[in-house]
Amino acid sequence: MKIVAFIVCLIGSSTFVYSQELNCTVKIITDSKLEVTSVEQEILSQLEQVIYEMMNNTQWTKDQFTIEERINCNLQLQIRSIPAQGTFSGALQVQSSRPAFNSNYNTVLFNFNDEDITFSFSRNAILSYAPNQYRDNLTSILAFYAYFMIGMDYDSFSNKGGTKFFNEAQQIVLNAQSSGASGWRSNEQGKRNRYWLVDNILHELFSPLRICNYEYHRNGLDALNEDKVKARGAIYTALNKLVKVVATRPNSLNLSNFIQAKSIELRNLYQDAELKEKNDIVALLKRLDPTNSPKYQEILN
């Protein structure tokens, strides 16, 4: 009877098996001019698998995800130099997306190129994230982007729903600052690093950006199949909230990152729009991101 009861419980519970939060693909490439030994190539191949396992097998939240609910994301690590044995330097391209409701379309939520990646990794090493601990630079970088992508995803489904995950990312920044590694501090050259990404997203001045993220996706993209014109109107209303951010933080990292991630999508969305709709959205996008005005002008073509 105990065996039968165990089998029944096992079968009954099988429908409630939950996977981790991320469905992450990982690719490591090396610069064509970089000479890589066979040993280093073997280590990088192993590193690719180790990063894949960390991103996909770590349980980042306490929430329950079915396989279909996992967040699709991509990491591409470009190795540009090997300053010393076991030390690698380069850039990390991070991208995440989420499906639009009742469609096969996936929209980009976050697309960022981190140009300041330096880390150590040796053969048979394991990357394991532990909350409130700094173990090594690569683990912290990967954990930071895991939480940032999760935060962006949650923000797109509920108004400021990703706050607790952005707080986790900010704690990783604070823990890493004493390491001396780059990308974690406010006083580094430029403001395109991990410190500013999460500092901006949690700052009250950027609250309109987070509201826009929610309304753009829930009231706009998720409603396209119901009423395309109304959905585009909701997208315009959401993007118009960013005017406040431009007034106080023009050309800010998070703002330009969001707009540019949506540029191709917006061009496609407005292909069959009336001329007035096109003119309105183009004028707004040029105001939000004047540097890329020629790109938005293409919507009118």
How do residues 251-281 score in pLDDT, each as one tens digit? 899 999 999 999 999 999 999 999 999 999 9
Q: What average pLDDT score do residues 196-212 get?
A: 97
Q: What average pLDDT score do residues 293-299 get?
A: 93
Q: Which token pair is 188?
A: 């580094």
Residue 15: pLDDT above 80?
Answer: no
Single pTM value for the model: 0.92
φ and ψ at residue 12, rounded to 5 degrees:
-65, -35
Distance CA 204, CA 124 (A): 43
Q: Model confidence over 159-174: pLDDT tens digits? A: 999 999 999 999 999 9
CB-CB contact of 28 with 79 (8 Å):
yes
Can you give the pLDDT at residue 3? 38
φ and ψ at residue 136, rounded to 5 degrees:
-160, 165
What are the sequence ranges of the domains in the chain? 19-202, 209-300
